[in-house]
């Protein structure tokens, strides 16, 4: 009878074994790829490639093994990753209409409710994007309003740099505030003042879902599980609620003295639209949407523009000969005392080329947010079923050796022709491309030009003694650049 407990134990073990085999078989069946689906690395049972580092370097490594089109599995979601100019162009531009939508995944639904521009889809996205793009353009072109605001901000920016008296400092927060002030002028009709510090703190220091890719993956894959626990997603949600609460207060203030014959800013214009589009419920012109778009513009616009400017200054330190050439061009075209204006750009091909090359090398926005395919699609001979997520590696386009003469070097000549005139490049995908490309491109380009030329007109930039700017490792720079120190000496 001694063997009876052993048998019982074996029974339990066999049952568990059988259960495990059934679960694995179910997982295998659920995660099976469609025929001719792009290949990809092995993933853990049930989890898939949830721990894959979603950055351009990790993507380059996998692409080197599986080719420019490969797939990953996150939970039971399939993601196709596309690299190289040829295929990224096909996805974003040539066949872009089939890759426009975002996945309204559980975290996005919980936080943004499908509102805003970056994370909305379909008819609602089209209407909101079109409206915002139209007014951003009008702001950029109308009565020189934008140029005057940026020029005014350049004066404050230079004052803040001068206050450092040539000592080492990190320009990140100063640049961030200056950029946020320009977006503030567009959205709220004014620069930030001391009352806005809470909002600015939240804006600059709070993460978004887009920055926390591993957390999104886990939330996307197991929303029912993650929702129950405390985690970064709860902090993101709480911060987002505070940000929109602040904006909603501003909207209420605007409503009190709203004048249909005198729109002061984007909020006033949008309030007018809410009234006009009341019947078009699908387009969703609502206060909630306005708050979400406002946060979208501040968050996306400020961060990317600041990161680019920071890169530009670090590159000037690393390449003093380029800094000198930019300053010579500024002295020659603008002079030492005139304030730079947008019309100067046409006569400053070298400075324009340096800014473009900074964006190419800086590679601030290396991966597009995931797009959802709206129909079955054949890409490079692979089959991609409707409803698959697709991410494009913009970095691989900006470093594509078939497109760029010196892809891994800082080489402003990429944007100059034989006569040293500015030359546009097809593969300059730093703002992405196609219908879902950056809505603030023009605004960003204007801010970059005026801030950069104003700073280099007045200051020479150098590294603090004993410190070299670290630019080799892009991710390293991204994480540490907030605290990158530099010296700005009056010229
Ligand atoms: C140098 C600065 C900037 C860079 C490098 C940049 C880059 C990008 C890129 C690559 C995308 C496409 C993302 C994707 O396909 O997933 C994008 C989208 C977007 N950008 Fe920018 N951006 C910059 C400045 C701005 C500014 C100043 C604003 C607004 C004031 C802005 C607002 C947006 C919005 C709202 C979207 C979403 C568009 C959509 O989904 O339809 N960006 N940006």
What are the domain boundaries of the chain? 33-490
Nearest CA to ligand 1 atom 43: 438
- Supply 213's token pair: 């890719």
Residue burial 44-59, b: 16+ Cβ < 10 Å; e: rest: eebbbbbebebbbeeb
Under 8 Å between Cβ of 124 and 100: no
Nearest CA to ligand 1 atom 26: 301
Of ligand 1's listed atoms, the one at least distance from the Cα of 125 is: 41
What CATH homologous superfamily does 33-490 map to?
Cytochrome P450 (1.10.630.10)
Nearest CA to ligand 1 atom 19: 438
The rounded distance, in Å, linking the Cα atoms of 309 and 280 is 40
Q: How far is the CA of 142 from the centre of ligand 1 (A)?
A: 21
- The pLDDT of 132-161, averaged and rounded, is 87
The rounded mean pLDDT for the chain is: 86
Task: Give the model's pLDDT for residue 476.
Answer: 47
- The pLDDT of 254-279, averaged and rounded, is 91
Closest C-alpha to 324, from 491, 180, 198: 491
Q: Is a pLDDT exceeding 60 seen at residue 334?
A: yes
DSSP string computed for 337-373:
SSPP-GGGGGG-HHHHHHHHHHHHHH-SS-BPPPEE-
| Among 164-173, 260-269, 383-392, 462-471, the least confident range | 462-471
Residue 170 or residue 470, greater confidence: 170
Q: How far is the CA of 438 from the centre of ligand 1 (A)?
A: 4
User: How far is C-alpha 104 from the geometric centre of its chain's CA atoms?
Assistant: 18
What is the tens place of the pLDDT at every residue in 181-212?
Answer: 999 889 988 887 655 667 777 777 665 555 55
Return the axis-axis angle of helices 213-221 and 232-256, rounded to nearest 10°: 100
- ∠ Cα 24 27 29 (to 5°): 110
Of ligand 1's listed atoms, the one at least distance from the Cα of 293 is: 35
Of ligand 1's listed atoms, the one at least distance from the Cα of 436 is: 41
Confidence band, pLDDT 50/70/90 cuts, at residue 435: very high
Q: How far is the CA of 437 from the centre of ligand 1 (A)?
A: 7
DSSP string computed for 422-434:
B---TT--TT--S
The residues with which 343 forms a beta bridge, in sequence order, are none
Confidence band, pLDDT 50/70/90 cuts, at residue 42: confident
| Among 109-113, 118-122, 354-358, 376-380, the least confident range | 109-113
The rounded distance, in Å, linking the Cα atoms of 327 and 349 is 13
- Gyration radius from the chain CA atoms: 25
| Among 73-82, 149-158, 320-329, the least confident range | 73-82
Q: Ligand 1: residues within 6 Å at CB?
A: 117-118, 129, 183, 296-297, 300-301, 304-305, 308, 364-365, 368-369, 430-432, 436-440, 443-444
Q: How far is the CA of 34 from the centre of ligand 1 (A)?
A: 33
- Cα–Cα separations (whole angstroms), residue 478 to 203, 254, 392: 18, 37, 20
Residue 226 or residue 168, greater confidence: 168
- The pLDDT of 432-454, averaged and rounded, is 96
Coil, helix or strand for 244? helix
Q: Is a pLDDT exceeding 50 seen at residue 45?
A: yes
For 361, how many CA atoms within 13 A lie in the half-sphere containing its CB? Answer: 28
The rounded distance, in Å, linking the Cα atoms of 105 and 95 is 24
Task: Give the model's pLDDT for residue 303.
Answer: 87
H or E element in which residue 390 lies: strand 389-392
- The pLDDT of 277-288, averaged and rounded, is 92
The rounded distance, in Å, linking the Cα atoms of 128 and 289 is 9
Q: Which long-range contacts (CB under 8 A, 24 or more apart) does 183-187 make?
A: 183/297, 183/298, 183/301, 183/302, 183/443, 184/298, 185/146, 185/149, 185/265, 186/136, 186/139, 186/146, 186/265, 186/266, 186/297, 186/443, 187/265, 187/266, 187/267, 187/294, 187/297, 187/298
Q: How far is the CA of 115 from the centre of ligand 1 (A)?
A: 16
- Supply 102's token pair: 């975002």
The rounded distance, in Å, linking the Cα atoms of 88 and 100 is 13
- ∠ Cα 408 411 414 (to 5°): 100
- Supply 24's token pair: 């694995």
Closest C-alpha to 137, from 360, 445, 453, 359: 445
Task: Give the model's pLDDT for residue 232.
Answer: 63
Closest C-alpha to 429, from 405, 472, 400, 388: 400
Q: Is a pLDDT exceeding 70 seen at residue 468?
A: yes
What is the tens place of the pLDDT at every residue in 229-257?
Answer: 666 667 777 777 888 888 899 999 999 99
Confidence band, pLDDT 50/70/90 cuts, at residue 470: low
Nearest CA to ligand 1 atom 11: 438
């Amino acid at each position: 009878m001694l063997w009876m407990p052993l048998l019982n134990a074996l029974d339990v073990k066999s049952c568990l074994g059988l259960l495990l085999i059934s679960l694995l078989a179910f997982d295998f069946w659920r995660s099976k790829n469609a025929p001719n689906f792009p290949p990809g690395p092995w993933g853990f049972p049930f989890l898939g490639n949830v721990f894959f580092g979603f950055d351009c370097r990790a993507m380059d490594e996998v692409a080197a093994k599986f080719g420019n089109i490969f797939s990953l599995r996150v939970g039971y979601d399939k993601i196709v990753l596309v690299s190289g100019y040829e295929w990224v162009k096909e996805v974003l531009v040539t066949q872009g209409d089939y890759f426009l939508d975002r996945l309204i995944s559980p975290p996005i639904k919980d936080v943004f409710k499908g509102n805003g521009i970056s994370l909305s889809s379909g008819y609602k996205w089209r209407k909101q994007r079109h409206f915002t793009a139209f007014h951003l353009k009008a702001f950029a072109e109308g009565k020189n309003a934008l140029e005057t605001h940026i020029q005014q901000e350049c004066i404050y920016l230079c004052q803040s740099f001068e206050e450092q008296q040539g000592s080492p400092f990190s320009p990140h927060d100063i640049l961030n505030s200056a950029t946020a002030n320009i977006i503030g002028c567009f959205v709220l009709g004014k620069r930030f003042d001391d009352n806005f510090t809470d909002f600015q703190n939240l804006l600059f220091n709070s993460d978004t879902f887009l920055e926390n890719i591993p957390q999104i993956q886990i939330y996307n894959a197991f929303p029912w599980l993650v929702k129950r626990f405390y985690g970064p997603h709860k902090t993101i949600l709480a911060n987002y609620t505070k940000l929109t609460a602040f904006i909603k207060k501003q909207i209420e203030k605007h409503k009190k003295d709203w004048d249909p014959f005198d729109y002061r800013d984007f909020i006033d214009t949008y309030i007018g639209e809410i009234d006009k589009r009341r019947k078009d419920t699908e387009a969703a012109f609502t206060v909630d949407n306005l708050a979400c778009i406002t946060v979208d513009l501040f968050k996306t616009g400020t961060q990317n523009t600041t990161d680019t400017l920071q890169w530009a200054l670090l590159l000037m330190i690393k390449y003093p000969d380029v800094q000198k050439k930019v300053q010579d061009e500024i002295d020659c075209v603008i002079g030492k005392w005139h304030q730079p204006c947008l019309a100067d750009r046409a006569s400053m091909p070298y400075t324009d080329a340096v800014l473009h090359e900074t964006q190419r090398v800086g590679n601030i926005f290396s991966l597009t947010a995931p797009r959802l395919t709206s129909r079955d699609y054949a890409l490079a001979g692979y089959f991609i079923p409707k409803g698959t997520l697709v991410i494009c590696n913009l970095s691989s386009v900006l470093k594509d050796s078939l497109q760029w003469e010196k892809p891994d070097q800082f080489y402003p000549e990429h944007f100059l022709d034989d006569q040293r005139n500015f030359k546009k490049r097809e593969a300059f995908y730093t703002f992405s491309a196609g219908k879902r490309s950056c809505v603030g491109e023009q605004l960003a380009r204007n801010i970059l030009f005026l801030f950069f030329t104003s700073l280099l007109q007045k200051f020479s930039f150098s590294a603090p003694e004993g410190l070299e700017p670290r630019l080799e490792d892009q991710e390293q720079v991204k994480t540490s650049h907030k605290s990158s120190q530099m010296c700005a000496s009056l010229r």
